[in-house]
Amino acid sequence: MANASIISRPIIRLFFFSGFAAIIYQIVWQRMLYASFGTNIEAITIIVSVFMFGLGLGSLLGGHLSRKYNTSLIQLFVTIEIAIGVFGICSKFLISTVSKAFLNYHDAALPFIIFMLLCIPTMAMGATFPVLVAYIFKSNRSVEESVSKLYYINTMGSAVACFLTIGLLFVFLTLTQVLIFAACINFAVAAISIVYLKKRIG
């Protein structure tokens, strides 16, 4: 049992950086929406709402996927992290294009379309949690321990990201560069997870 817990620690640590990248995206996307809606309650409401909705719906989706692909949970986690990174790199272009296309179409259309667009990556972010809970549960057979560890480490990553994004990344990097930085974290998490999986199999 102790060995199983030790085996899962690298994946638990990786979830710190997964949460780190997620909050960077949230902050950057909110800053980008200021160009469409101004520095007002609309931009903040869209970001907060889409993250809560996407994470919740993504958790349900992740639970379904973790049962369906129970024998390949790390591969599933890797796929999700790569997908988040790809969307992150493309997100500035996508948000800008959609905003320009629908800015003068209808006052209510643009917020709804932006909301639906950002549901895609936030659902993916939400799906990572139940996938890793299912994986760690296979090692330690404890739902409480699996959930508490992952939630704690993910929250820590998010908290650190808030300080570093505002105090460091936005000072020295452009929004595009910050998005690339966050995407590189997703890709690194995916790559390290693959290495970890190969060591387990080997």
Q: Please classify residue 144 by burial: count the beta carbons closer than 10 Å to its beta carbon, then call 0-12 exposed, 13-18 middle and 19+ buried.
A: exposed
Amino acid at 143: V
Give pLDDT tens digits for 109-143.
777 888 899 999 999 999 999 998 888 887 766 66
Q: What is the dihedral of CA 27, 33, 37, 41, to 10 degrees?
A: -20
Dihedral sign of CA atoms 28, 33, 34, 39 in order: negative
Instruction: Note the pLDDT of residue 44.
Output: 81
Q: How far apart are CA 145 and CA 173, in angstroms?
A: 38
Alpha carbons within 13 A on the beta-carbon side of 71: 0
At 136, list the tokens.
């760690």
The DSSP 8-state label assigned to residue 39 in this structure reads S
Q: How far apart are CA 46 and CA 37, in angstroms?
A: 10
Alpha carbons within 13 A on the beta-carbon side of 11: 29
- List all residues 6 or more positions away from 130 whose beta carbon is below 8 Å from its beta carbon: 59, 62, 63, 65, 66
Instruction: Note the pLDDT of residue 107.
Output: 60
Whether the pLDDT of residue 103 is over 80: the answer is: no
Instruction: Note the pLDDT of residue 202.
Output: 55
Give pLDDT tens digits for 58-70.
999 999 999 999 8
Instruction: Note the pLDDT of residue 141.
Output: 65
Give pLDDT tens digits for 161-174.
999 999 999 999 99
Q: How far apart are CA 47 and CA 95, in angstroms?
A: 12
Instruction: Note the pLDDT of residue 3.
Output: 45
Report angle CA 94, 97, 98 to the nearest 5 degrees: 85
What confidence tier does 1 reach under pLDDT thresholds 50, 70, 90? Answer: very low
Instruction: Note the pLDDT of residue 197.
Output: 82
Structural domains in the chain, CATH included, are 2-33+41-201 (1.20.1250)
What confidence tier does 88 reach under pLDDT thresholds 50, 70, 90? Answer: very high
In 3D space, the residue among 145, 144, 7 whose CA is nearest the CA of residue 74 turns out to be 7
Q: How far apart are CA 70 and CA 67, in angstroms?
A: 5
Q: How far apart are CA 26 and CA 11, in angstroms?
A: 23
Mean pLDDT of the chain, nearest integer: 86
Instruction: Note the pLDDT of residue 194.
Output: 92
Q: Are 64 and 130 in contact (CB under 8 A)?
A: no
Instruction: Note the pLDDT of residue 52.
Output: 92
Give pLDDT tens digits for 4-41.
444 567 778 888 999 999 999 999 998 888 776 666 67
